[in-house]
Amino acid sequence: MAEHHHHHHGPQVADASLKNVYILSIVLNFTYVIIEAVAGLYYHSVGLLSDAGHNLSDIISLALALIALGLLHSHQREGYTYGYRKMSVLISLTNAVILLVAVGAIMVESIGKLLHPVAVNGAVISWTAGAGILVNGLTTLLLLRKRSHDLNTRGAFLHMLADTLVSVGVVVSGIVIHFTGWYVIDPIIGLVIAVVILVGTWDLLKQSIRLSIDAIPEGVHLEPILAQIQAIEGVKEVHHIHVWPISTTETALTAHLVVENLADAESTVRTAKEILSREGIAHSTLEVETAGHCSDSSVCC
């Protein structure tokens, strides 16, 4: 029992500290957005205003990840046998889409500036974006240790990392502009950053779509798991295997075990469930049958 309790205890504690990281990140970023927006309005800098807008999309992304974290442990309720856990997958998909939209916006804006260079105050841009490096960099570091938690945490981490890069790029362009007046560096850096974000988002999008259509989650490897179950004494074969994500952190499996002797069914199932639990599949439903019972494939499905 102690073993089981420990298993339950772990994720909850990890989630509590992750929740605090999210809340702190939201507060930090919100403060920065207000400062940036005010500076942008005062100095008539489209760059600062658009960056404030982009950081606002981050806050939305972090807030969504925070909501997803709460939903990971949502309990069964009438009509929802898994609670709202699968919403965590929809949220990771939404976050990937938000990132793609942000990339599109940066690209459009950068191309516009390439065609019509805008004179900007390099020093002001560098100072404000410098604050951005601090805020985004701190958030990125906070999320760095948590990023393996689930897809949403990885999404939030990518978001903040991308933002830190954006801020670094803006600082560099501000310094270059200040000393050379070479305004075209601003959109060029914008495009480079957009490509960097795109590369990071692609994998996030792919994984979110996989989980949305109930494909096997990336970290679960079916072949070795089945090999272990088939190696259990008395198990002849395993078929009708279905593996699907319940949320961004939990995986479920159903399967039929063909056994030599139904008398051992209970211990066989227990052993199989232990293997599955060790391999990260906490929810499994196993049906046991004997070989003779199932010669006609049309009957047995």
pLDDT of residue 301: 46
Q: Which CATH architecture has domain 222-294?
A: 2-Layer Sandwich (3.30)
Confidence bin at 7 (pLDDT 50/70/90): very low
Q: What is the mean pLDDT of residues 273-282?
A: 92
Domain ranges of the chain: 2-212, 222-294
Q: What is the mean pLDDT of residues 256-266?
A: 90
- Per the prediction, the chain carries an average pLDDT of 84
The backbone region for 288, taken as left when phi is positive above 0, alpha when psi lies in -120 to 50, beta otherwise, is beta
Mention every residue, 6+ apart, whose C-beta is less than 8 A from residue 159: 58, 61, 62, 95, 99
β-pair partners for 238: 257
Same fold, 2-212 and 222-294: no
Go through 216-241 and write b for each residue having 16 or more CB atoms within 10 A of its CB, e for each that does not: bbeeeeeeebbebbeebebbeebeee
Handedness of CA 106, 184, 186, 190 (dihedral sign): positive
Q: Which of 140-149, 172-181, 193-202, 233-242 has the highest mean pLDDT?
A: 233-242
Tens digits of residue pLDDT in 281-291 = 989 999 999 87
Tens digits of residue pLDDT in 75-129 = 988 899 999 999 999 999 998 898 888 888 888 888 888 888 777 777 877 888 8
What is the CATH code for 2-212? 1.20.1510.10
Instruction: Specify the pairing of strand 235-245 against strand 251-259.
Output: antiparallel
Q: What is the mean pLDDT of residues 168-187?
A: 83
> Which residue intervals of the chain are DSSP H helices?
2-43, 46-71, 87-115, 122-144, 151-180, 185-212, 222-230, 265-278
- Locate 12 and state its tokens: 């909850």
Helix (H) / strand (E) element for 261: namely none
Tens digits of residue pLDDT in 196-227 = 778 878 888 999 999 999 999 888 899 999 99
**Residue found under tokens 């227990």:** 270
